[in-house]
């Protein structure tokens, strides 16, 4: 039997336990605890990381306290490993902990709010049969002061009988005055079987085809609001299926561009990205350029006079040289000489625009060349009401310095006319979702593009909208 009482204060380590009153359990977490849980939470998308941090921290501290306080430490454990929990925390608040030889499930609900008049229980932990909790524990967390307060519990029966159900946000709202504040009673209930566990109602079963159709619809900017876009039966069919929940989780993870530089494309492939050369049948990386003056670059039948290029120092002249060479067709007899000249330009120039011109020229002639940059593309569809209109999102990556990378964004039309709809808009946002560049297609435009750079580890969003249709992609530099 487990009891929480003031005598435990004498045996608790001070870095874990700070105070206890007759109602609430207070735990202190260390900087090491916080660092450990931050590392875990970073595997979620930027939108889900804070929720993951609160859940990882509250479950770590409670389990640590239980195992320090009571001898049978193997009787308390997380129900799922961290990788599986991350797929839950990405979308839903709550952490299941098993006690009593795995026969009883506690669900923790961390929050930072100081308003303790009620707590919210996501419907997943009440009405999905294999996730259903037996006890529900609200946790208040103060990250600045370094403490947690476990302010009571409610039983499944109480939740079903005394909560207000919110069908908009798919949650049960339980009033504070019905929360049992003494955690001793939880374990007394469990020891003597005082908590009634009624039979649950099974949910309708969705076919894999229905789940696939739903999965294709769920591509929004904020994963924390995703569950509100379906009715509960539909959402439970996705969230309650480990395979589909994992697929959805992967869909929301930022594309880690830095991994491209280490030739790790597994994550990108799993999210529908391809090497750009695999899309050349539908895309043209370099658009037709207007005639450019050769500026001393002599093009003769059978040879290219490169002597002038190797003497160039001026950035503008290097840029023009890169532009001039980049329009050579891949089957040109001057291919090798042009590649050598473009490689030289890449080593000499400092301007990002010039480097991208040279890189595009190298890619056009030899996509596998290390100086061509790394390019991937993805076909996207903004919605079923777009009449089958599709787009291709292309991202190019070039190292800029030891801790910075340059990014080239392009959005192409893929339709019978190869033009973008005039109401198509693109917002490029920083890691705080602040827009730093807006693009809007004009009539007859075939593509939108923008070049920028960022520090490794930073996030950015590309949000594409057309009328009421919208989707977003998240990237980590």
Mean pLDDT by 10 residues, the chain (477 residues): 32 38 80 95 90 97 84 82 96 94 92 91 96 95 94 92 93 94 79 68 89 79 76 94 92 87 83 82 47 43 60 80 76 80 86 88 86 88 63 91 92 78 90 89 89 92 86 87
Do both 426 and 382 map to the same domain?
yes
> Do 187 and 330 lie in a common domain?
no
- Does residue 165 sit in the same domain as residue 40? yes
Angle in degrees, CA 404, 406, 408, rounded to 5: 160
Residues 275 and 408 in one domain: yes
Does residue 318 fall inside a structural domain? yes
Q: For residue 197, tell me if it sits in a domain.
A: no
Pairing of strands 255-256, 147-150: unpaired
* Spatial contact of 36 and 60, defined as CB atoms under 8 Å apart: yes
Asked if 94 and 146 sit in the same domain, the reply is yes
3-class secondary structure per residue, the chain: CCCCCHHHHHCCCCCCEEEECCCCEEEECCHHHHHHHHHHHCCCCCCCHHHHHHHHHHHHHHHHHHHHHCCCHHHCEECCCHHHHHHHHCCCCCEEEEECCCCEEEEEEEECCCCCCEEEEECHHHHCHHHCCCEEEEEEEECCCCEEEECCEEEHHHHHHHCEEECCCCEEEEEHHHCECCHHHHHHHHHHCCCCCCCCCCCCCCCHHHHHHHHHHCCCCCHHHHHHHCCHHHHHHHHCCHHHHHHHHHHHCCEEHHHHCCCCCHHHHHCCCEEHHHHCCCCCCCCCCCCCCCCCCEEECCEEECCCHHHCCCHHHHHHHHHHHHCCCCCCCCHHHHHHHHHHHHHHCCCHHHHHHHHHHHHHHCCCCHHHCEEEEEEEECCHHHCCCEEEEEEEEEEEECCEEEEEEEEEEECCCCCCCCCEEEEEECCCCCEEEEEECCCCCCEEEEEEEEECCCEEEEEEEECCEEEEEEEEC
Distance, in Å, from the CA atom of 263 to the CA atom of 269, rounded to the nearest integer, reads: 12
Whether 291 is covered by a domain: the verdict is: no
Range of the domain at 275: 255-281+373-476
Into how many domains does the chain fold?
A: 4
* 337-to-203, 297, 340, 353, 361 alpha-carbon distances in Å: 67, 12, 5, 22, 12
Domain termination site, one of 346, 372, 398: 372
Domain annotation covers residue 200 = no
User: Are residue 82 and residue 181 in the same domain, yes or no?
Assistant: yes
**Cα–Cα nearest to 260, from 477, 60, 437, 418:** 477
Q: Identify whether residues 86 and 39 lie together within a single domain.
A: yes
pLDDT of 195 reads 65
Asked if the structure places residue 182 within a domain, the reply is yes
One domain, residues 472 and 355: no
Rounded CA-CA distance 265/361 in Å is 23
- Do 321 and 395 share a domain, yes or no? no
Domain-embedded: residue 198:
no
* Number of CB atoms found within 10 A of residue 415's CB: 14
pTM score of the predicted model: 0.76
User: Are 272 and 389 contained in the same domain?
Assistant: yes
pLDDT of residue 11: 31
- Same domain for 342 and 260: no
- Of 341, 372, 403, which residue sits at a domain end? 372
pLDDT value at position 137?
Answer: 96
Task: Give yes or no: residues 90 and 106 share one domain.
Answer: yes
Tell me if 333 is assigned to some domain. Answer: yes
pLDDT at 14: 30
Q: What is the pLDDT of residue 4?
A: 36
* CATH code assigned at 271: 2.60.40.10
The answer to whether residue 202 is domain-embedded is no
The CATH number of residue 29's host domain is 3.40.210
Query: What is the rounded distance in angstroms from the CA atom of residue 129 to the CA atom of residue 114?
Result: 31
Q: Could you give the C-alpha distances from 368 to 80, 275, 395, in angstroms and in order? A: 42, 10, 16
């Amino acid at each position: 039997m487990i009891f929480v009482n003031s005598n435990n204060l004498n045996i608790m380590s001070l870095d874990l336990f700070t105070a206890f009153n007759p109602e609430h359990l207070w735990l202190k977490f260390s900087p090491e605890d916080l660092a450990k849980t931050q590392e875990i939470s970073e595997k979620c998308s930027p939108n889900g990381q804070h929720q993951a941090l609160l859940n990882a921290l509250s479950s770590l501290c409670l389990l640590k306290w239980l195992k320090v306080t009571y001898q049978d430490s193997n009787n308390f454990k997380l129900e799922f490993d961290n990788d599986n929990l991350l797929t839950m925390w990405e979308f839903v608040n709550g952490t299941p902990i098993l006690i009593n030889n795995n026969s009883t499930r506690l669900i923790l609900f961390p929050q930072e709010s100081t308003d303790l008049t009620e707590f919210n229980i996501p419907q997943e932990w009440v009405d999905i049969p294999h996730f259903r909790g037996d006890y529900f524990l609200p946790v208040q967390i103060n990250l600045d002061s370094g403490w947690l307060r476990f302010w009571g519990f409610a039983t499944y029966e109480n939740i079903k009988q005394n909560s207000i159900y919110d069908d908009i946000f798919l949650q049960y709202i339980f009033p504070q005055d019905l929360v049992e504040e003494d955690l001793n009673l939880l374990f007394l209930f469990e020891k003597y079987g005082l908590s009634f566990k009624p039979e649950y109602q099974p949910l309708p079963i969705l076919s894999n085809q229905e789940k696939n159709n739903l999965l294709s619809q769920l591509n929004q900017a904020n994963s924390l609001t995703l569950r509100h876009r379906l009715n509960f039966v539909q959402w439970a069919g996705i969230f309650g299926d480990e395979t589909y929940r994992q697929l959805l989780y992967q869909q929301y993870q930022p594309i880690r561009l830095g991994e491209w530089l280490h030739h790790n494309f597994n994550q990108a492939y799993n999210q529908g990205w391809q090497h750009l050369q695999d899309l050349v049948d539908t895309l043209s990386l370099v658009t037709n350029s207007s005639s450019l003056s050769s500026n001393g670059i002599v093009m003769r039948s059978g040879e290219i006079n490169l002597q002038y290029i190797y003497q160039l120092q001026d950035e503008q002249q290097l840029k023009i040289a890169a532009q001039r060479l980049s329009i050579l067709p891949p089957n040109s007899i001057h291919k090798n000489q042009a590649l050598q000249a473009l490689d030289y330009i890449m080593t000499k120039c400092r301007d990002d625009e010039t480097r991208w011109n040279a890189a595009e020229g190298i890619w056009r002639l030899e996509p596998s060349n290390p100086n061509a940059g790394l390019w991937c593309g993805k076909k996207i569809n903004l919605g079923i009401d777009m009449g089958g209109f599709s787009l291709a999102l292309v991202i190019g990556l070039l190292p800029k310095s030891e801790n910075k990378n340059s990014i080239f964004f392009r959005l192409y039309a893929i339709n019978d006319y190869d033009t973008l709809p005039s109401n198509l808009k693109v917002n490029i946002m920083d890691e705080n979702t602040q827009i730093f560049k807006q693009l809007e297609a004009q009539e007859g435009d075939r593509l939108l593009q923008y070049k920028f750079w960022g520090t490794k580890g930073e996030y950015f969003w590309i949000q594409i909208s057309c009328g009421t249709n919208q989707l977003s992609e998240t990237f980590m530099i």
